[in-house]
Structure 1
Amino acid sequence: MLPPSLLDALRTIFAADALSVGEAERIAYSYDNSRLHALPDAVVFPTEHAQVESLAQACRTHKVPVIARGRGSNTTGATVPVDGGVVVSFERMNRILRIDPDNRLAVVEPGVLNGDLQQALAPHGFFWPPDPTSAPWCSIGGNLACNSAGPRTVKYGSPRENTLGLRAVAGNGEGFRCGTYTSKGATGYDLTRLLIGSEGTLALITEATLKLTPKPSAVRTLRATYRDVGSAARAVARIMAQPVTPCALEFIDDVALKLAHEHGGDSVPLAGAMLMIEVDGEPTTLESAVDAVATAARGDGLEELRVAQSAEETRALWAARKALSPAQRTISPNKINEDVVVPVSHLPALVDGIKQLSAKHDVLIVTFGHAGNGNLHVNLLPRDAAERERAHACLADVFALVISLEGTLSGEHGIGMVKREFMPLALEASTLALMRNIKTAFDPDGILNPGKLLP
């Protein structure tokens, strides 16, 4: 229950339809795609920066938690209000404020959907590179909060590399701007990159200035199948060691292919492993770029290499990747979806190690993902209570393996609630202490998204 004085303050800040304390609305904003849930005390729907400042000031006075929320597609519980408080849904701050092709930037509010932004940019010949699978329904604010990326990251970078500046509200209720409108800047600390990936624990983002990229004229798709996962992983290392960087390089292991084949039919090949590769560029140089990538893809263990010759064939080649999610859901509603990252040269060891851990713990594991930057989605698929218990022990071993290979716990999903306990495995105590000091500087009373990210 919120203190009556805070509730009165919220009614002053937000119009009647922009504040809800009804149970149905609170339930709707109590969970995200992690399947974790906790009821907030209220939900608010700001439409302007000033309201967010007033909200943070009022909640700080009463020591009440404030939890920023995009569209709830996060898989780590990052938007679950574990200590109650006020959920701030930014879905009504959904305006594209400015598209500036001459300066290759766009200014947007956090509630703009990734897919809607891409559609608005297309007539100008530009795109914003981050492209998570959830792009049609996830928000830019959510992408920034977790540094969510997608297949194109291998060539074009994550939100951190594609955001010029932010407007935000710190936990003390003070609004501020950081970053630039220019592609270069060396003026003080880089607070923009600090806020991106901080999962709403440092500040509430109310505006973002995004760096745009010209849309390539042409794209070619290749599909390579291999005898085993080791051969495919070594091919990834070869592809990334030559000058032409693909715009997508996706890895799918043998277990994933079998599941996708059972769900998607004969359009999905059965093999030891598969790579989906895309190369983009201008028509005059694209063929030589495709040849260079294809040459690197060839090697010991290659079974078949196909280059799509039409849009229809491209769709057919991607069928396996698209069949994966529904195929997994048929096996395990309790899927544990992790997104670990290792240096590309260590991919063969990661893939081999995961195979061994699957056998050791007797837990089905499906591995696929953005192999071009070493970011693999490790999906544990427990089917009953006993397997769920074994899966948690297996997950700890997976993270230990990743750290031993100079990797990190998350590439794009973030830490949220579900990976907090593993943070000391990834970071030294002194590093975590510095992070806590930064948290205190931005949020002295600890009201912003408590219970997330830091152990």
Structure 2
Amino acid sequence: MPDLTAGLRAELARIAGDGALLTDPADCWPYGYDNSRRQALPQAVVFARDEDRVAALVRLCAEAGLPLIARGLGTGTTGATVPDRGGIVLSFERMDQIKRIEPGDRLAVVEPGVTNARLQQAIAAAGFFWPPDPTSAATCTIGGNLAYNSAGPRAVKYGTPRENTLGLRAVSGTGEVFHTGVLTTKGVVGYDLTRLIIGSEGTLALVTEATLKLTPLPEAKRTLRATYADIHSAALAVSAIMAQPVTPCALEIMDGSAIEMVSRYSELDLPDGAGALLMIEVDGPAACIREAQRAVGEAARVSGLLELRLAETADEVAALWKTRKALSPALRHIAPKKINEDVVVPVSHMGEFIDGLEQLARETGIRIVNFGHAGNGNIHVNLLIDPDDAEEVARAAHCLDAVFALVLRLGGTLSGEHGVGLEKRDFVDRELDPMALKLMHAIKAQFDPAGILNPGKSLPG
């Protein structure tokens, strides 16, 4: 790894501009971590200000052979923004302008440092929303959402960032600026570089501007909570709900272990014997909402249903969501260093998947808590472990390996929205076809011939 010579420091300072460069280790350490709890010290931190400076920085790093790692606000969970090979962290937190909102064309143009919540607030005033809504929406950036293709609960109806982004401006690994996509919802000229860059975790190009496709706010919404005797009944209900014409805008699942955990720290208004629950929301035109609610509710009435509740007021909606919202704090309290994987299986195989997880928990002695976005089979599998117990850590590693094998056997994928980063990189070749992986390495080399953009992330060597 090249040292930061006096000449390199001077050039970095010139490109970054006043107040936009950190080189003291004490100042750089806070930019060397993400929510994976991995951490490494960058050689310097540069705050992005505009596209020209980003391009100049990329050219300098390519010439010097310095790794360049793009970073939003560090909410990712896979180590994708951790500078494990040193180099420069490029923080986009100050490049946070909402450039324009065009209601007539249903689009917004934003810089990558805009937070998801701030964007939603701005476009709501014009009657729109952007469908991706990760749990970390209050603090995660649009650039990070695009880097990981992070979606959240609404993806079941409205899709992921790939389906809700019209185009990008970006800088390649050679420091060349280019534009992808169109301003319209139709367009088939050339290859779809927009969708290729989204989800690439900063390994192909650095996004400097995004044109986002907006969706009108629905006139009405209804919230239901369905409680079941066991997780298998809940999984059956998910399949029934997704097989009928009305697609819910949210369909969240919690298993019995998750319910038990929350009950330790929060009073729950659930029927006795609750072994799983579904949080269901439907939205749409006011004239149709009752029929949509009825159709989804009927589909949820499968064997094992204990209770189906409809929220009539805002307070009742909050009360129904209370159990789900209390889960993450409870998990942090009980297992602050849990292993959290966001795998995806076909909805029709959710029951079989959960059966397999229960068997693995028995075989390995590792407690497993499951919840997530049931409508598209995106299950957050949490392995609760004591990181100071070496024997338990070893059993957890064996359990996780078996979880991934089960996911792939059922036709699933190893990550739905958290990305790959460092955490899953060494498992990727189990899922990807060898020829496909070879093509991906070739694409990486074409975009980034010097190999400086987030090296060692996403794809195995």
TM range (shorter): over 0.9
Matching residue of 1:428: 433
1:219 match: secondary structure: strand
2:359 match: secondary structure: helix
Matching residue of 2:175: 173
Does 2:395 match 1:393?
no
State the shift of 1:360 in Å: 1.0
| Aligned counterparts of 1:171 and 1:39: Cα–Cα separation in 2 | 22
State the shift of 1:268 in Å: 5.4
Structure 2's unaligned 5+ residue stretches are none
The correspondence for 2:121, drawn from 108, 119, 122, is 119
Q: State the AA in 1 paired with 2:47.
A: F
Alignment of 1:22-41 (within 5 A): 22-41=24-43
Q: State the AA in 2 paired with 1:324.
A: L
Q: State the AA in 1 paired with 2:426.
A: E
* Preserved CA contact (<8 Å) 1:49 1:206: yes
Output one character per residue of 1:137-180: Cα deviation in whole Å (capped at 9) or x when no partner.
Answer: 00000000000000000000000000000000011111100001
The correspondence for 1:271, drawn from 270, 274, 285, is 274
| Aligned counterparts of 1:260 and 1:358: Cα–Cα separation in 2 | 20
| Aligned counterparts of 1:268 and 1:368: Cα–Cα separation in 2 | 17
Matching residue of 2:157: 155
Q: Which segments of structure 1 move beyond 3 Å, counting only runs of 4 or more?
A: 267-270
State the shift of 1:333 in Å: 1.7
**Same amino acid, percent of matched pairs:** 60
State the shift of 1:2 in Å: 1.6
2:133 match: secondary structure: coil
Q: State the AA in 1 paired with 2:453.
A: L
The correspondence for 1:371, drawn from 346, 369, 374, is 374
The correspondence for 2:218, drawn from 216, 230, 251, is 216
Does 2:298 match 1:295?
yes
TM-score by length of 2: 0.97
1:255 match: secondary structure: helix
The correspondence for 1:20, drawn from 19, 22, 29, is 22
2:288 match: secondary structure: helix
State the shift of 1:5 in Å: 2.5
| Aligned counterparts of 1:170 and 1:25: Cα–Cα separation in 2 | 28
Output one character per residue of 1:71-100: Cα deviation in whole Å (capped at 9) or x when no partner.
Answer: 100000000001100000000100000100
2:170 match: secondary structure: strand
* Preserved CA contact (<8 Å) 2:268 2:323: no
Q: State the AA in 2 paired with 1:181.
A: L
User: Are residues 268 and 413 of structure 1, via their aligned partners in 2, closer, same or farther at CA, if it must alter by over 3 Å?
Assistant: farther
User: Are residues 268 and 227 of structure 1, via their aligned partners in 2, closer, same or farther at CA, if it must alter by over 3 Å?
Assistant: closer
The correspondence for 2:314, drawn from 311, 315, 318, is 311
State the shift of 1:6 in Å: 2.1
Structure 1's unaligned 5+ residue stretches are none
The correspondence for 1:85, drawn from 87, 108, 113, is 87
| Aligned counterparts of 1:5 and 1:206: Cα–Cα separation in 2 | 27
Matching residue of 2:364: 361
Matching residue of 2:331: 328
Query: Which range moved further: 234-243 or 321-330?
Result: 321-330
| Aligned counterparts of 1:243 and 1:64: Cα–Cα separation in 2 | 52
Q: State the AA in 2 paired with 1:81.
A: P
| Aligned counterparts of 1:2 and 1:354: Cα–Cα separation in 2 | 48
* Preserved CA contact (<8 Å) 1:260 1:320: yes
Matching residue of 1:143: 145
Does 2:286 match 1:283?
yes
Matching residue of 1:418: 423
Query: Which range moved further: 211-220 or 14-23?
Result: 14-23
Q: State the AA in 1 paired with 2:196.
A: L
Does 2:459 match 1:454?
yes
Output one character per residue of 1:318-373: Cα deviation in whole Å (capped at 9) or x when no partner.
Answer: 01111111111122121111100011111111111111111111111110000000
Matching residue of 2:106: 104
Matching residue of 2:411: 406
